[in-house]
Amino acid sequence: TAAVIDGKSIADDIRSRIGSEVRRMKESIGMVPGLGVIMVGQRKDSETYVRNKMMACEEVGIKSNVAHLPEHCTKDQLLKALSKFDVDPSVHGILVQLPLPQHLDERKIMDVLSPEKDVDGFHPINMGNLAMRGREPMFIPCTPKGCIELLLRSGVEIVGKKAAVIGRSNIVGLPASLLLQRHHATVSIVHAFTKNPEHITCEADIVVTAAGVPNLVRGNWLKPGAVVIDVGTNPVVDPSCERGYRLIGDVCYEEAVRVVSAITPVPGGVGPMTIAMLLSNTLDSAKRAYAFT
């Protein structure tokens, strides 16, 4: 059966390395990285994500600040909170917890964020630089960056391999496909309009899935020996769980483990890497701001 790619332990390793870098920065220049988080409204899932991010910051010594705005705040209030972080030299990374309430236009908000503090990597300048050859984005979106890191740390060769990415969202699928190309894979993109997606995925040496559809990818969609990175995090009803639901991926795990050579579990695969990459992006940003090497 397949090797399980242990995202939790890889992420722990990265976090402890970040912790020592933050200490080294503090000891040599008396500064620490700072993260500003903007959260609008009270979505339960967003609150959990924000809390987890802040706890992770604290653990490695990154100073985090959250600006919590009410659900019905105006665009101007939100822009004001953003610009407060933007002009604050002790804040090196800013993230706006998405999704925003309907009345706020996500695109317009992201446009005013300084690309230098865009630790989520969602600003069009950073995304554009990620897409263009010969250019370097200041930040790479955390989840796809975590996927690549899992491949590299598991010793998976990417150069020259066939990769299939399922999903083309701005947050995961699109940047994952761009990153895999940067690593010289030949990339196919599968999305909701793709006909016979299994014909594409079954040729791929590497499959990254971010569709948000539980058990979409069956064992017969996969090439024997392939490596699977399952980004999907889908709640399914399970009365035997305390919360009444549990999380599963996009891949039918029980079938896939019999076919592939390595796979990430859900939970415990990509999820922990996303936060580790956020910390890493914030540290990199502070190092750049203080010219600290």
Residues annotated as part of the active site: 53, 97, 120
Cα dihedral 264/270/271/277 (nearest 10): 150
CA-based torsion, 190, 194, 197, 203: positive or negative: negative
Q: How far is the CB of 274 from ligand NAD (least distance, A)?
A: 3
Q: Are the C-beta atoms of 229 and 264 separated by less than 8 Å?
A: yes
Q: How far is the CB of 103 from ligand NAD (least distance, A)?
A: 20
User: Which parts of the chain fold into alpha helices (H)?
Assistant: 7-29, 44-60, 75-87, 106-112, 124-131, 142-153, 173-182, 197-201, 253-256, 270-289
Instruction: Report the site for ligand NAD in 142-201 (rule: CB under 6 A).
Output: 143, 166-169, 171-173, 190-192, 194, 197
Q: How far is the CB of 87 from ligand NAD (least distance, A)?
A: 29
CA-based torsion, 263, 267, 272, 274: positive or negative: positive
216 versus 256: smaller Cβ distance to ligand NAD: 216
Q: How far is the CB of 23 from ligand NAD (least distance, A)?
A: 27
Q: Which residues contact 89 (CB under 8 A, 6 or more apart)?
A: 289
Residue 285 touches ligand NAD, criterion: CB under 6 A: no
Cα dihedral 120/125/128/132 (nearest 10): -110
Interacting residue with ligand NAD among 5, 148, 210, 256 (CB under 6 A): 210
Q: Burial, 137: exposed, middle or buried (Cβ in 10 Å; 0-12, 13-18, 19+)?
A: buried
Interacting residue with ligand NAD among 19, 41, 212, 219 (CB under 6 A): 212
Binding-residue total with ligand NAD (CB under 6 A)? 25
Of 81-89, 131-139, 205-213, 221-229, which segment contacts ligand NAD by CB under 6 A?
Answer: 205-213
Q: How far is the CB of 92 from ligand NAD (least distance, A)?
A: 22
Of 14-22, 60-68, 75-83, 212-220, which segment contacts ligand NAD by CB under 6 A?
Answer: 212-220
Interacting residue with ligand NAD among 37, 165, 180, 216 (CB under 6 A): 216
Residue 252 touches ligand NAD, criterion: CB under 6 A: no
25 versus 228: smaller Cβ distance to ligand NAD: 228
Determine the longest span between alpha carbons in the chain, in angstroms. 57
CA distance 35 to 243: 30
Which residues form the interface with ligand NAD (CB under 6 A)? 143, 166-169, 171-173, 190-192, 194, 197, 210-213, 216, 231-234, 270-271, 274
